[in-house]
Structure 1
Amino acid sequence: MKIKILTVGKLKEDYLKKGIAEYVKRLHRFASVAMIEVADEKTPEKASEVENQQIMAKEAERLQGKIGDRDYVVVLAIEGKQLPSEDFAKKLEQAKNSGHGTLTFIIGGSLGLDPAIKKRANLMLSFGLLTLPHQLMRLVLVEQVYRAMMISAGSAYHK
């Protein structure tokens, strides 16, 4: 199985890079993992709604080029579905067993994600109503994916 984590913007903080690297290393026992960053667009300080939509559309074009036709796509969005860890593990297991060779997770930029990306999602997922920095969300995501894999493997990690 392959896992792709697509994100808008570059990760800057070393402590987040180290945490993500640790969970990616742990995930390698279950899947190959690719962390793929696409460039974010500069957002003017007082951008209009039209400008914001144009920015998200440009970022969406970059993301779409990284999504395979047969990928199982999980989009992180605040309006997405909230799942307990066990149900998240079941969803990923079902995706794997239904012929999707790649699980693709997408984290948008500071403005969020274009509707075209959300429409492509097999699952829109929310980790709660709190707003978290997009860079921190990467660490939360890789830990939760690792947790889901450990649950599926019957490990005591989740307890």
Structure 2
Amino acid sequence: MRLVIVSIGRLKQGPERELAERYRERFDGIGGKLGFRGIEIHEISESRARNAAARIAEEAGAISAAIPEKSVLVALDERGDNIDSGAFARHLGRWRDESVANTIFVIGGADGLSPDLRRMAKLRIAFGAATWPHQMVRVMLLEQVYRAATILAGHPYHRA
């Protein structure tokens, strides 16, 4: 199963990018042995539209264009569910075992995701009640994907 992160906004050079790459590389080291084909990241520029509704719609169109058929969509959304790392790992493991071709994680822009994208998502998750910058959400998501792989592999990284 291929994992893809589609994110509004770009990670510039700096500590967030370095940390994101570290978790991505760690995942690549263990994920292949578990039936995952790595993590791709598609960065989409933030909309320059004048109002929030237009920005959300424009960004939703760009996100939708990046989602291949036969994909499971996971929305990172402040209104999503707070799930623990074990539950997250079980979702990824189940989709892999069901031969899902792609799991697509979407991270919206400053105005959030469109209601249509949220409805399309098989899973909507939040990293707590706080609002996080997209750069931090990407780092946290990559860490959780790596953690999920270690859980599925029985690796001691995750201690619960």
Q: So what's the TM-score if we normalise by structure 1?
A: 0.91
Q: Which residue of 2 aligns with 1:37?
A: 43
1:106 partner SS: strand
Whole-Å Cα distance in 2 between the matches of residues 107 and 13 of structure 1?
19
Unaligned runs of 5+ in 2: 32-36
Deviates more, 1:5-14 or 1:55-64: 5-14
Deviation, 1:12, is 2.1
1:72 partner SS: strand
Whole-Å Cα distance in 1 between the matches of residues 143 and 18 of structure 2?
12
Deviation, 1:81, is 1.2
2:56 matches 1:56: yes
Whole-Å Cα distance in 1 between the matches of residues 58 and 110 of structure 2?
13
Whole-Å Cα distance in 2 between the matches of residues 133 and 115 of structure 1?
20
Unaligned runs of 5+ in 1: 45-50
Q: How many residues align?
A: 153
Deviation, 1:152, is 0.7
Q: So what's the TM-score if we normalise by structure 2?
A: 0.91
| Identical counterparts, % of pairs | 31
Q: Which residue of 1 aligns with 2:76?
A: 76
Deviates more, 1:139-148 or 1:35-44: 35-44
Deviation, 1:148, is 0.7
Q: Which residue of 2 aligns with 1:157?
A: 157
4+ long deviations beyond 2 Å: none
Whole-Å Cα distance in 1 between the matches of residues 96 and 127 of structure 2?
21
Q: Which residue of 1 aligns with 2:67?
A: 67
1:94 partner SS: helix
**Equivalent residue runs for 1:85-104 within 5 Å:** 85-104=85-104
